[in-house]
Structures are given as structure tokens and as C-alpha cells.
């Protein structure tokens, strides 16, 4: 992949903008910074089509609904990896620690790596021998508490960074959520809601946006090589509202069958719906399926299918999950998750 100096600066903008809108057909797509914040985390949640707001009873509540962080009584750890779109990689790691009457605390880090690329210029089209990289990162801390045996709340604070070559942008955001077991029907319909990424706008800055110019280059004695820095626009981050429902249609010693529904309203796309289901056999083997982004305009995401296994080691519980995600005209990501509960 080749980049001119001006192309590198333009690419930095594209990392935030993603795609340009046109005057004749404006949409909300590509109007925010840090779009990676909208990529759902965890093989289990992705397998259920992202319909996870009202479930969120494991480590991946850290992404979907911070109120779910208080649902467990064990120390939880988890790691997720996927070969994402067009040669990029996503890695996610998190941990939750129960703290008794103080609630539960969690931390997580998300990294989207765009890989290493070669620096080229007009004068050195075959490369300068230098390389550069691009990366998105989000790190967060979460607190959650069960206010009653049926109602939980949670709050997350996060720092967000996007970098490409020698430019970067940083922002801060909050997530807030709740979970409520309504008690309706035999097994209790659960309701969950969250607001994600309520925070500061982001603006690219750095050495990659500096250059030297000449004032009146055709005039003798005019100042030459004046250092200047380009000023980029600010862009908001992808504020997202989620409302979810879940219900255990079957709950027995031999197994459980859960269905879930999420309505999602992001500020950088059209509203859409996620649907998902999970079958559990003896709390050991899990089969999951779902459908992403129903009603989203020109959606590439589609159906998902996955499974998992849970095994007790005496001192801990180990969990493996896998998901295949259909992604339209793009490559289909495969998600791998491993977790340990102590």
C-alpha cells in the first residue's frame, strides 16, 4: 500500500470520517470519529446478533451494558480476538472483580490494529524504507451495583485514542446502563437499557499535520520554509442508545433456551434491530444464533452462528466461545473468546 505525504494526511482524516457524504444524498453514516466503538465485543454476544443489552450477565457486559457487571459473584476474566475487516485485527481483554457492598468493578481494553504500511512519496514511489501504522484504542473502568435483587445500575468511564502515522486524536466518554427483571411471565422478562459513548469530540493533531510553506515564493527576499500546522475539524463520537428484552422460554435442569431483542439508535447510522437466541445444555454446551442490523440502510451485517463450552476445573471455570459472522460483500469475521471465572 503506497502513501504520499499528502496522502498520509488525507488518510488520517479518513480514519475519523470513514466515508464522505454528498450534498445530494446526506446520511448519518461516517459522521463521527472512532467508529470502532460501535463494533460489538465477545463471541457469545456477537453470535446472538448483538441482542445482548438485557442479558449482559458475563464479562462482556463491560461493552454492552455496564449494569450487567454486577450480575456475577466470581472474579471474571476474558479475552477476544478476531481477524476483522480487510486485514485488520481486533483484540479485547477485560476483568471484573466483585466488591461486596461496594458493588463490582471492571476494566477492559479494546485495540483495533490496521497493520503496518509502507511510506512512499512523489520522489520515492517505491518506498522510503520507513513504515507507519494505524491503531484505535479504548480503555475503560466500570462500576455496577445491584440496588435490589431485580434492579442493577452501572457506569463506565473511558478514554479513546485514534492514531495514524504521527497524528492522533484523544477523547473521553461515559456509558450508563440498567438491568431490570420485571417478574412478568413464569421466568421473568428482563429489560435492559444503555447509553454508550456520551463524551467529548475528537480532533486529529500531531507532527503529521505540520509542513513548511513559502510566502510569495516568486519574490526575492520573501520568507521561506515557514512552519505551519493544519487544523482539522472536530467530530463527535458514536453516541448509541440501546433498549433490550430477553426471556428464558425454557428453564430446566437439563437446559435453557433464551431469546433476546435489541432496538439500537446510533447517531451515525439509521435505527436498527438485533435478534438472538441461545440454547444451553446442562450449563456445559451452548449453541447460539442471531441476526444483525435489521432495518439498517444498506447493512452489510447479517446472520450469526456460534457455540461454546464451559468446563469446571475445581478452582476455576474455563469457557471457550466461537462465532461466525456473515458480513455481506466483505470478509466474514470469525470470533474467538476464552474466559476464566475464579
CA distance 21 to 235: 14
Q: Which pLDDT score, from 0 to 100, does residue 302 have? A: 92
Please provide the DSSP assignment of 136-173 as one string. Answer: EEEEEEEEEEESSSSEEEEEEEEEEEEEETTEEEEEEE
Under-70 pLDDT residues of the chain: 1-27, 216-222
**Predicted local confidence at residue 222, as pLDDT:** 66
> Residue 11: its pLDDT value, please?
37
Residues in the chain, total: 342
pLDDT at site 212: 82
Coil/strand/helix, residue 295: coil
CA neighbor of 303 nearest in space, from 263, 274, 266, 336:
274
3-state secondary structure of 53: coil
Per-residue model confidence (pLDDT) at position 192: 98
- The answer to whether the beta carbons of residues 16 and 169 sit under 8 Å apart is yes
pLDDT of residue 103: 97
For residue 48, the model assigns a pLDDT of 98
Q: pLDDT tens across 248-299, in order?
A: 999 999 999 999 999 999 999 899 999 999 999 999 999 999 999 999 888 8
Rounded Cα distance, 186 and 179, in Å = 18
- Give me the pLDDT at residue 124, please: 85
Q: How far apart are CA 318 and CA 50, in angstroms?
A: 23
pTM as predicted: 0.87
- What three-state secondary structure class fits 315? coil
Enumerate residues 6+ apart whose C-beta is below 8 A from 276.
Answer: 47, 48, 49, 50, 51, 52, 259, 260, 262, 288, 289, 290, 291, 304
Least Cα distance to 150 among 70, 270, 65 occurs for 70
Amino acid at each position: 500500500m503506497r502513501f504520499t505525504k499528502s496522502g498520509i494526511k488525507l488518510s488520517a482524516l479518513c480514519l475519523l470520517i470513514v466515508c464522505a457524504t454528498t450534498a445530494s444524498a446526506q446520511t448519518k453514516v461516517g459522521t463521527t470519529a472512532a467508529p470502532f466503538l460501535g463494533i460489538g465485543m465477545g463471541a457469545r454476544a456477537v453470535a446472538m446478533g448483538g441482542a445482548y443489552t438485557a442479558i449482559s450477565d458475563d464479562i462482556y457486559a463491560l461493552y454492552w451494558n455496564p449494569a450487567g457487571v454486577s450480575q456475577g459473584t466470581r472474579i471474571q476474566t476474558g479475552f477476544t480476538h478476531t481477524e476483522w475487516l480487510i486485514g485488520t485485527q481486533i483484540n479485547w481483554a477485560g476483568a471484573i472483580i466483585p466488591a461486596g457492598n461496594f458493588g463490582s468493578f471492571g476494566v477492559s481494553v479494546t485495540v483495533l490494529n490496521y497493520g503496518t504500511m509502507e511510506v512512499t512519496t512523489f520522489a520515492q514511489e517505491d518506498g522510503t524504507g520507513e513504515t507507519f501504522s494505524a491503531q484505535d484504542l479504548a480503555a475503560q473502568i466500570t462500576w455496577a451495583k445491584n440496588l435490589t435483587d431485580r434492579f442493577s445500575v452501572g457506569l463506565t468511564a473511558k478514554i479513546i485514542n485514534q492514531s495514524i502515522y504521527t497524528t492522533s486524536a484523544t477523547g473521553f466518554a461515559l456509558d450508563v446502563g440498567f438491568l431490570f427483571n420485571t417478574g412478568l411471565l413464569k421466568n421473568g422478562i428482563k429489560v435492559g437499557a444503555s447509553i454508550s459513548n456520551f463524551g467529548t469530540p475528537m480532533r486529529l493533531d500531531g507532527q503529521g499535520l505540520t509542513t513548511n510553506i513559502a510566502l510569495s515564493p516568486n519574490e526575492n527576499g520573501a520568507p521561506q520554509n515557514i512552519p505551519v500546522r493544519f487544523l482539522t475539524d472536530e467530530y463527535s463520537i458514536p453516541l448509541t442508545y440501546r433498549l433490550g428484552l430477553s426471556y428464558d422460554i425454557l428453564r430446566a435442569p437439563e437446559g435453557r433456551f433464551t431469546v433476546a431483542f435489541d432496538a439500537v439508535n446510533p447517531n451515525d447510522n439509521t435505527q436498527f434491530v438485533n435478534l438472538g437466541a441461545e440454547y444451553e445444555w446442562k450449563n456445559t454446551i451452548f449453541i447460539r444464533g442471531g441476526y444483525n442490523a435489521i432495518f439498517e440502510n444498506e447493512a452489510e451485517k447479517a446472520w450469526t452462528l456460534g457455540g461454546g463450552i464451559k468446563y469446571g476445573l475445581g478452582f476455576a471455570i474455563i469457557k471457550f466461545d466461537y462465532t461466525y459472522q456473515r458480513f455481506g460483500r466483505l470478509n466474514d469475521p470469525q470470533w474467538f473468546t476464552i474466559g476464566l471465572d475464579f
